[in-house]
Amino acid sequence: MKKFDIKRTAMIVLLVGLIFSLGVQTGRGNISFGRTKNTANSQLPENINYSSVEQVYDSLREQYDGELDYDKLLNGLKSGLVAASGDPYTEYLSEEQAKEFEGDLNGTFEGIGAELSKEDEFVVIVAPIKDMPADKAGLKPKDKISKIDGENAYGMSVEEAKNKIRGPKGTKVKLTLIRDNKEVEVEITRATINVPSVESSIKNNIGIMTIYRYGDDTSYLARKAANEFKQAGVKGVVLDLRGNPGGYLEAAVNVSSLWLNNKVVLKEKRGDVVIKTYESRGEATLNGIPTVVLINEGSASASEITAGALKDNNAATLVGVKSYGKGSVQQPEPLQSGGILKVTIARWYTPDGKNIDKEGIKPDKEVNISEEDYKNGKDPQLDAAIGILNN
């Protein structure tokens, strides 16, 4: 996997947060590399008046009963400024966090294997990664984290929660979750998380492609799988995007292009103005082959782009439950300090003009998985998909 370079302007990333931070972090929206300007805020002063900030700093320095760390104060100042935007996906990342960001996007880190986001004042689980510690411990999409190792997590930022949950493999973290208005306490042993990008197989003449994240190798691996499906003459394809928290936007466009021939994949808008339209590119290897896309509450960002593009272009049937709902675009700005400002610059829309932010994408056929199904190793969603392709 090639090294991630935050200064590349041709790459675009979808984050429902920072993709795999604690074992993934937020369901990040779309991160776009390349500078854009928003004239809507042109009425703000060109520079901040720091006199009141300096007064707070002076009072802390002179009167605080304890030892202060200058770098932490400075990072806190930047984080607070960004948090005041009120947008959970606009974030300041310190130099250390920016380095973690690179590792997270590459899919290898130590943690529990779950993506985080923010809803109201709660940090919530977007999706546990299949077969990782969080998944094995029973974490579910939309679980709210109320405590981390007994510490109140209400009002905590995603970054703060991530830092407390991540840790060396073999160590434990205790999470108190709110699920269905009840508290659930779970102790999880951290591990090295190695998130695969794409897995594929052919069963009973049906190609099954599972995309766990949209990394920088996803486009190649997905096309490789598609070519294998085509050569084998499969009668149908299941594209499994369940629990996929997102990743690179370009990868989402490339995956969608395997089914779409000269079609719109998504549009980016700022306000009511379309600032960019993404169309399918390359050979549509799987065009015309009956396809079912599996989605659930953990399908977010880039995976929602693919699901929305195939649905709106009548290239696939969607099965499962409503997706997460992440429809904004972020752009990372490298800072002189070595940190990154990840700022929301636009909203993305499906080919039919729908923004799915906080709404998600509804499947054509709703199929749930019960607790009993999980315990017994059953997968009624996959069974339903195969049933559709066999009819």
How do residues 29-65 score in pLDDT, each as one tens digit?
A: 455 555 556 667 878 888 888 899 999 999 999 999 9
Give, as one character, the DSSP assignment of residue 67: -
Tell me, what's the pLDDT at 390? 96
368 and 304 assigned to the same domain: yes
337 is a domain residue? no
How large is the average pLDDT for residues 164-193?
Answer: 95
Tell me, what's the pLDDT at 107? 65
Residues 165, 180: contact at Cβ < 8 Å?
A: no
CA atoms within 13 A of residue 13's CA, in its CB half-sphere: 34
CA atoms within 13 A of residue 258's CA, in its CB half-sphere: 29
Q: What percentage of the chain exceeds 90 in pLDDT?
A: 62
- Split into its structural domains, the chain has a count of 2
Q: Which residue has the higher pLDDT, 184 or 26?
A: 184
161 is a domain residue? yes
Pairwise CA distance, residues 101 & 124, whole Å: 19
224 and 185 assigned to the same domain: no
Q: Active site includes 130? A: no
What's the CATH code of the domain at 211? 3.90.226.10
Which of 139, 168, 193 represents a domain boundary (last residue)? 193
Tell me, what's the pLDDT at 102? 67
The structure's pTM equals 0.76
DSSP 275-340: EEEEE--S--TTTTS-EEEEE-TT--THHHHHHHHHHHTTS-EEEES------EEEEEEE-TTS-E
295 and 362 assigned to the same domain: yes
What tens digit of pLDDT does each residue of 66-88 get? 999 999 999 899 989 998 998 88
Using pLDDT thresholds of 50, 70 and 90, give the confidence band for residue 99. Answer: confident
Which of 177, 193, 209 represents a domain boundary (last residue)? 193
163 and 243 assigned to the same domain: no
86 is a domain residue? no
Residue 198 has pLDDT above 90, yes or no: yes
160 and 304 assigned to the same domain: no
186 and 237 assigned to the same domain: no
20 is a domain residue? no
Q: Active site includes 326? A: yes
Residue 25 has pLDDT above 70, yes or no: no
21 is a domain residue? no
Q: Which residue has the higher pLDDT, 365 or 49?
A: 365
Residues 310, 291: contact at Cβ < 8 Å?
A: yes
Q: How far apart are the first and last CA of the chain?
A: 40
316 is a domain residue? yes
174 is a domain residue? yes
The structure tokens listed for 365 are 């056929």
Pairwise CA distance, residues 326 & 355, whole Å: 9
32, 79, 280, 301: which is the annotated catalytic residue? Answer: 301
- Work out whether strand 365-366 and strand 317-320 pair parallel, antiparallel, or are unpaired: parallel
Burial class (CB in 10 A: 0-12, 13-18, 19+), 162: buried
Range of the domain at 164: 113-193
166 and 220 assigned to the same domain: no
308 and 163 assigned to the same domain: no
Tell me, what's the pLDDT at 104? 63
Name which of 292, 311, 286 is nearest 223 in CA terms.
286
Tell me, what's the pLDDT at 141? 87
Residues 121, 58: contact at Cβ < 8 Å?
A: no
Which of 164, 193, 222 represents a domain boundary (last residue)? 193
- Of the candidate ranges 10-14, 282-286, 291-295, 314-318, the one whose mean pLDDT is the lowest: 10-14
Name which of 173, 162, 172, 157 is nearest 103 in CA terms.
162
Residue 109 has pLDDT above 50, yes or no: yes
Pairwise CA distance, residues 290 & 278, whole Å: 24
What tens digit of pLDDT does each residue of 376-386 get? 889 999 999 99
Using pLDDT thresholds of 50, 70 and 90, give the confidence band for residue 98. Answer: confident
The structure tokens listed for 214 are 């949209």
Tell me, what's the pLDDT at 7? 31
130, 311, 326, 342: which is the annotated catalytic residue? Answer: 326
Q: Active site includes 301? A: yes
How large is the average pLDDT for residues 9-28?
Answer: 35
161 and 202 assigned to the same domain: no
Using pLDDT thresholds of 50, 70 and 90, give the confidence band for residue 24. Answer: very low
214 is a domain residue? yes
What's the CATH code of the domain at 183? 2.30.42.10
Which ranges in 88-210 belong to alpha helices (H)? 95-106, 133-136, 158-165
Residues 319, 238: contact at Cβ < 8 Å?
A: no
289 and 305 assigned to the same domain: yes
Using pLDDT thresholds of 50, 70 and 90, give the confidence band for residue 117. Answer: confident
Give helix 249-256 / helix 302-312 axis angle, nearest 10°.
30
Residue 5 has pLDDT above 70, yes or no: no
- Of the candidate ranges 91-100, 149-158, 243-252, 313-322, the one whose mean pLDDT is the lowest: 91-100
Using pLDDT thresholds of 50, 70 and 90, give the confidence band for residue 106. Answer: low
183 and 312 assigned to the same domain: no
What b/e readout covers 324-344, taking b as 16+ CB neighbours within 10 angstroms? bbbbbbbbbeeeeeebbbbbb
235 and 378 assigned to the same domain: yes
144, 312, 323, 328: which is the annotated catalytic residue? Answer: 312
Tell me, what's the pLDDT at 103? 63
142 — alpha (psi -120 to 50), left (phi > 0) or beta? left
Quote the distance between the C-alpha of residue 87 and its chain's center.
15
